[in-house]
Amino acid sequence: MSDMKPYEFTIAQAADMLRRHELTSQTLTRSVLDRIHAVEDKVGAFITILDESAMEQAVSADVLISEGRGGVLTGIPIGIKDLICTEGIRTTCASRMLEHFIPPYDATVIRKLKAAGAVMVGKLNMDEFAMGASTENSAFKPTHNPWDLSRIPGGSSGGSAAAVAADMCLGSLGSDTGGSIRQPSSHCGVVGMKPTYGRISRFGLVAFASSLDQIGPITKDTRDCALLMNALAGYDSMDSTSVPEPVPDYTSFLSGDLKGMVAGIPKEYHASQGLDPEVAAAVRQAVQTLEHLGVRCVEVSLPHTAYAVAVYYVIAPCEASSNLARYDGVKYGFRDVSAESLMDMYRNTRSKGFGPEVQRRILLGTYSLSSGYYDAYYGKASRVRTLIMEDFKAAFKTCDVLLSPVAPTPAYPIGQHIDDPLTMYLSDIFTLSANLAGIPGMSVPCGFTEQGLPIGLQLMGPHFSEGNLLKVAWHFEQSTDFHKRKATL
Ligand code: GLN
């Protein structure tokens, strides 16, 4: 490790060195902040960089460590998607609407990271209100993929994935409503997990679609993912959707072997039209690697897969239109002061404060929920959602984990699909169903295209099977080196 720069370390490596007093959090944090300042102009991952408070937290962490009171995250520099509330620190959701919003409280996940002694280096770019799959919908700037700066990093947690891939933090938090952790992780060659609905508290997460939203970690490898899951998972009385299920030590799954494990290969995913041949080949190869490791693979069917996009793009906009009604220029956020009447104030505030994609979602959602249409759209979508859940339930009778692509194509050039929302929506086909069913899913690097763009393998499992997913991903990493490759910047 001696030839590595501190910012290049994984969380586990840095934690070891901190504990052995071969590194201080101040040196590590300085190194990460310098790295951020060296490459941020190219990558554009950050909305807010917290130079001063990060160094202060590093000083406190070093005290804890020197007193032997540190945990594995103490002194570790972490980045946070800018829709997770941070007390006293601007939380914009990459929207003009919340450009100057400073939350008066911390989200539960932030409280947990602080209690663990983690260092917060900044708030990360995203699609506005998490609506998008490319981070091009940020009101402030696009984020660039560290592997090819002309391409999207994926989204909506594009800043979170790009920052980890570019060594601008050791790990980050993202949110996933329909793929927003897994898809950017896949495009940036890092590990990302969307936990089971209810596994991690969403108190302090700015709501997009409340029946789908989950917070989760993005990291350089699977061990780090397990370490962050240990810190984040657990019941929280402040989130009524949080589940009082005991939290295992997720690192305890990173051992043993995969003998006896059965993986389902959903035929609808692998035969999907529009699946890029290089992505298909990499995923096929990954399935073979796992077979060599003792996993038995069986074909399974998820017959309602084709409806996932339609169902999601009714349910998510409906919930968004309701959640975003609070941004009216009165209670908080942007207000248009030029208006002469109350109605004009509402209209102007929401026209100027929200970007085009957010407005499109609000219109779609409001229409679908309006009198006379509710049953035809929201009601129907909810019923098909149940069928999608049943598909998974049936599949998990014959297998422990599902293997599939994360995204149909590798990262595409910035601007390529920005005027074509339907194509963007369709590219979410492999990730939406896990949110609709509430099951955990993760992305682990499984290859590169000829042009050097990362490809991710998606693992999905029954509710609360995160440990099993981590186990499969970790064994996969033990016999491959895709997760070790670095983008050159
Ligand atoms: N791409 C999907 C959307 O635009 C998913 C976003 C998300 O998971 N936050 O809604």
Residue 270 has pLDDT above 90, yes or no: no
Residue 279 has pLDDT above 70, yes or no: yes
The mean per-residue pLDDT over the stretch 313-336 comes to 96
Instruction: Check if the beta carbon of residue 410 is closer than 8 Å to that of residue 285.
Output: no
User: Quick one: which of 226, 2, 223, 206 has its CA closest to 215?
Assistant: 206
> What's the gap in Å between 300 CA and the centre of ligand 1?
26
Q: What is the number of the ligand 1 atom nearest to the C-alpha of 157? A: 9
The mean per-residue pLDDT over the stretch 175-186 comes to 98
- Quick one: what percent of the chain has pLDDT higher than 90? 98
Tokens of 395: 């599949």
| Strand residues in 426-483 grouped as ranges (E) | 441-448, 454-460
- With the most atoms of ligand 1 within 8 angstroms of its CB, the residue from 156, 160, 197 to mutate is 156
> What's the gap in Å between 316 CA and the centre of ligand 1?
9
What is the band of 271 on the pLDDT scale with cuts at 50, 70, 90? confident
Residues 102-112: pLDDT tens digits? 999 999 999 99
Residue 2 has pLDDT above 70, yes or no: no
* Phi and psi based region of residue 341 (left: phi greater than 0; alpha: psi -120 to 50; beta: remaining): beta
CA atoms within 13 A on the CB side of 342: 1
Q: Give the lowest-confidence range in 331-335, 340-344, 413-417, 441-445.
A: 331-335
Residues 238-260: pLDDT tens digits? 999 999 999 999 999 999 999 99
Q: What is the number of the ligand 1 atom nearest to the C-alpha of 208? A: 9
Amino acid letter for position 117: G
> What's the gap in Å between 249 CA and the centre of ligand 1?
30
Which residues are near ligand 1 (CB < 6 Å)? Answer: 130-133, 156, 176-180, 208, 316, 428
The mean per-residue pLDDT over the stretch 65-91 comes to 98
Residue 1 has pLDDT above 70, yes or no: no
Domain spanning 6-259: CATH superfamily: Amidase signature (AS) domain (3.90.1300.10)
The mean per-residue pLDDT over the stretch 153-169 comes to 98
Contacting residues for 117 by C-beta, under 8 A, at least 6 apart: 57, 60, 61, 64, 70, 71, 73, 74, 75
- With the most atoms of ligand 1 within 8 angstroms of its CB, the residue from 428, 430, 435, 436 to mutate is 428
The mean per-residue pLDDT over the stretch 9-38 comes to 98
- Would you please indicate which residues are annotated as catalytic (active-site) residues? 81, 156, 180
CA dist 284 and 290 (Å) reads: 10
Using CA positions, which residue lies closest to atom 10 of ligand 1? Answer: 131
The mean per-residue pLDDT over the stretch 428-457 comes to 98
Using CA positions, which residue lies closest to atom 4 of ligand 1? Answer: 132
CA dist 347 and 343 (Å) reads: 6
| Helix or strand run (H / E) with residue 227 | helix 222-232
From residue 376, give the alpha-carbon distance in Å to each of 305, 361, 369, 385, 459: 20, 18, 9, 14, 33
For the chain, the average pLDDT equals 97
Sign of the Cα pseudo-torsion (274, 211, 463, 206, in order): positive
Q: What is the number of the ligand 1 atom nearest to the C-alpha of 132? A: 4
Residue 485 has pLDDT above 70, yes or no: yes
> What's the gap in Å between 26 CA and the centre of ligand 1?
36
Q: What is the number of the ligand 1 atom nearest to the C-alpha of 435? A: 8
The mean per-residue pLDDT over the stretch 414-425 comes to 95
> What's the gap in Å between 175 CA and the centre of ligand 1?
9
